[in-house]
Structure 1
C-alpha cells in the first residue's frame, strides 16, 4: 500500500491533490490542521494536511493510463501557496531572519535615503489606470509572487487603501529581478514605503517670527497638541512662545489654553473674528513662535469652513512679516472615507502639513500613508496620549514603515 501526505489551504483542495497524484481510488486516512508559527504566521493562513493511501496495483495502473501534467503558471486564485513545504529553511529560522532584516534596514536605508532626495518629486507624481487599480499582483513564474501577495495582504490588514497597496507592490514587482530573495523583497517594499512617506516637516524656527495655525475637525486634539509643541520649544529650547485662540465656540476652550499657558508662562490672546488676527499678531511680533488655535470645524458645514479660510487668508497677507505655516490636525481613528472628505473640504488651504493624533487608540496606521499619497502634503507630528509634553514626536517614517509590514516598533 502507498501512503502519502498532502497539504493545501482547505481539506477539499488537499483531497483533490491526493486524487490527482494517486488516483480517484485514494482513501483519506487522516485529516489535521497545521498551525503557522513564528513571524511568518502574520502572513500565512493555517493549512490542512491529509494522509491518503492507495493499493500499489491501483497506483501502477494509474501511471500507465495517465501522463503527468505540469502547470507553468502560478495563478492568484490557485490557492496553492505552501511556504512550509517549499522552503528549505525551517519556520523558526525564517522568523528570526525576517526580524533581523527589518531591524537592520533602519540604519542602512537611512544613509541610502540621504542620497535619493532627487527622486522624491518623481515618486509622488504617480498616475493610475483603471486596470492597474483592480489588479493585486501580476502573475509571474517565480518565487516572488507568493511573498509579494503576503506583503500586500499585510498592508491591507493595516488599513492601507487597496489602491495604494497595489501601487507599492506593482512598483516593487516591476523593479525586481525575475528571481529575488527575501532580502531584496523586504528591502524593496520597506524602502518604497519610506520614500513615499517622505521627509517629515516639523516646526523649524528662522529669522522671522514663526506663526503656526492649527486647523481640523472637532475633537481631534488640536489644543492639547498645541500645548505639547509649546512646552517642547519653551522647556527644551527656551523659545519665546505666545498663544492666540480663535476657538470661541467650544465651551471652556479659552480656559483650557489659558491653563496650559499659565503652566509654561506664555501669554494668550483671543480673536473673535478674522479681521482681528493681523492686530493680534502684531502684539507678539517680537516672539519666536506664535501658535494659533482655531475652532474645530465639520467639513460638512460650508459656512464654518468659510470662516477658517477667511482667517487664514487674512493672516497670509502678513507673510512679509511672519513665517506662516498651517497644520491640518487629524485623528488616526477617523475612517479613511471621512478623511478623504475632510481633505476635500480644506482643498482651498494651500501648503498645509499633516499632524496625526491618537495613535495610542488604534493598532492600524495605514491612514498615515493613505493621506500622504492622497494629498501629497508633508507629514509632521504624531501624538499618542494626553501627557504634555511627552506624548508627541516628529513622525518616524522608518518605524512606521516597519509597523506597516507587521514588525514591532
Structure 2
C-alpha cells in the first residue's frame, strides 16, 4: 500500500493532487488543519494536510512477501488460534443442541405444520417468531395443508401483523443515508432523488459527505447532472453544517455518507459527528438483504449511535431469503420505508407495503414446505 501526505491551501486542491498522483482508487485516511510560517505561531497561514493511500499492484517477484496488513493478520491469527478453536467447539455444541430442540419440536407437530415450520426456518425467520406463530396455528387450526390456498391466506394475514412499514413525511426533509460499504446508499439516494424531482416536482438538493473514496462524489455528480439537481460536497462536520444552511430553502435535501465499518469505532464516531452537524429529521439505515442474520443484528446495534428512523432494504433481487421483512422490526424497532430490487435508477425501488411483503414471505415459506420431504421431520 502506498501512503502519502499532501499539503494544500484547500481540501479540494488536495483532492486534485491526490487524484492526479494516486488515481481514482485512492482512499482518504485523515485530514487536519495546520499552520505554516509566522512568528512563534502568530500570523501563520492555514493549510490542509491530507493523508491518502492506494493499494499498489504486486509485482511477480513480490508474490512471496506480505503487506503490513497481512503480517498483522497472520500474527494475530497465530496467537488466537487456540482461543478460536475453543470458541468454535462451544459454538458447534450449541448449534447441535439447538438442532436437537428443533427436531424434537417438529416431531411433536402435525405433518402440515411441521413442514411450514421447516419453510420458516429456510426463510430464516427468527426462532422466537416462528415458534410463537406455529404454536398459535396449532392451537387455532390443529393442522394446515401447505398446498392449500387457504393456508397461504392464513399465513399472509399472520405475517402482515409482523411486517412493519412506514413512508416518512418528506415535507422540508433533511434525509441522511447511512450504512456499511457497498450496501447501495448512493444508488438508493439517486432513485429517491429522481422520484422527488421528476414525479413529485420537488425542489431537491444533494449533499455528499462521502470523501473517503475519490470517485464517490463523481458518481453522484453524474446522477445529479442528469436530473438537474444541485450537489454540494462537505469534507468536515463544520463544512456540512455550512452547506446545510446554504440549502435550507430546498424542499428536500438528501445527504450521502461513506460506507462505514460497524466494527471501526473511529469511523462510527466520525459518522456520529457528521450526523450531528447535518441534524436530519429522517435517517435511513440502508441494509442489504444479503446480510446474515447475526451480521445484521451487529450492524443495527452499532448504527443506533446515529439514531436511524427508518430502514431501506436493498438487493432484494440478489436473495431468495425474505424472512428479513418479518425480522427487521423485531431486530430494530424501526419500520421499512423502501425496498430496492435492482440497479436501475429510478425504477428499481418501491415503497414498502405490508400486505405485499407478507404475501412474498408466505409464498416462499410454503414453497419450501411443499418441497420438504418426510426426512425433514425426522
TM-score, shorter chain, exceeding 0.5: yes
Task: Tell me the TM-score normalised to structure 1 length.
Answer: 0.60
* Greater RCO, CA 8 A, separation 6+: 2
Q: Does 1:195 align with 2:161?
A: yes
* CA 1:155–1:250: 2 relative to 1, 3 Å: same
Q: Which runs of 5+ in 1 are unaligned?
A: 1-129, 317-322
Q: Which residue of 2 aligns with 1:166?
A: 131
- Cα distance in 2 for partners of 1:226, 1:179 equals 45
Q: Which residue of 2 aligns with 1:256?
A: 219
Q: Which has the larger radius of gyration?
A: 1
Q: Does 1:366 align with 2:329?
A: no
Q: Does 1:348 align with 2:311?
A: no
- Cα distance in 2 for partners of 1:203, 1:267 equals 23
Contact preservation (8 Å) 2:107, 2:114: no
Q: Deviations over 1:180-222 (max 9, x none)?
A: 8867754443212111112x2224333xx20110000000111
Residue 267 of structure 1 and its aligned partner are, at CA, apart by 0.5
- Cα distance in 2 for partners of 1:225, 1:179 equals 42
Aligned mate of 1:386, from 343, 357, 360: 343
> What are the equivalent positions in structure 2 for 1:196-211 lying under 5 Å apart?
196-198=162-164, 200-206=165-171, 209-211=172-174
Q: Deviations over 1:113-134 (max 9, x none)?
A: xxxxxxxxxxxxxxxxx9xx96
Q: Look up the SS of the partner of 1:243 in the other structure.
A: strand
Residue 399 of structure 1 and its aligned partner are, at CA, apart by 2.5
* CA 1:226–1:186: 2 relative to 1, 3 Å: same
Q: Which residue of 2 aligns with 1:266?
A: 229
Contact preservation (8 Å) 1:151, 1:405: no
> What are the equivalent positions in structure 2 for 1:217-232 lying under 5 Å apart?
217-232=180-195
Contact preservation (8 Å) 1:148, 1:185: no
The CA RMSD over aligned residues, in Å, is: 2.6
Q: Which runs of 5+ in 2 are unaligned?
A: 1-97, 368-378
Residue 278 of structure 1 and its aligned partner are, at CA, apart by 2.2
Q: Look up the SS of the partner of 2:327 in the other structure.
A: helix
Residue 265 of structure 1 and its aligned partner are, at CA, apart by 0.4
* CA 1:179–1:201: 2 relative to 1, 3 Å: closer
Residue 146 of structure 1 and its aligned partner are, at CA, apart by 2.6
- Cα distance in 2 for partners of 1:381, 1:238 equals 20
Q: Which residue of 2 aligns with 1:124?
A: none
* CA 1:179–1:302: 2 relative to 1, 3 Å: closer
- Cα distance in 1 for partners of 2:151, 2:361 equals 15
Contact preservation (8 Å) 1:169, 1:189: no
- Cα distance in 2 for partners of 1:138, 1:347 equals 40
> What are the equivalent positions in structure 2 for 1:126-141 lying under 5 Å apart?
136=105, 139=108
* CA 1:349–1:154: 2 relative to 1, 3 Å: same
Q: Look up the SS of the partner of 2:253 in the other structure.
A: strand
Q: Look up the SS of the partner of 1:369 in the other structure.
A: helix
Q: Deviations over 1:32-55 (max 9, x none)?
A: xxxxxxxxxxxxxxxxxxxxxxxx
Q: Look up the SS of the partner of 2:207 in the other structure.
A: strand
> What are the equivalent positions in structure 2 for 1:272-311 lying under 5 Å apart?
272-311=235-274
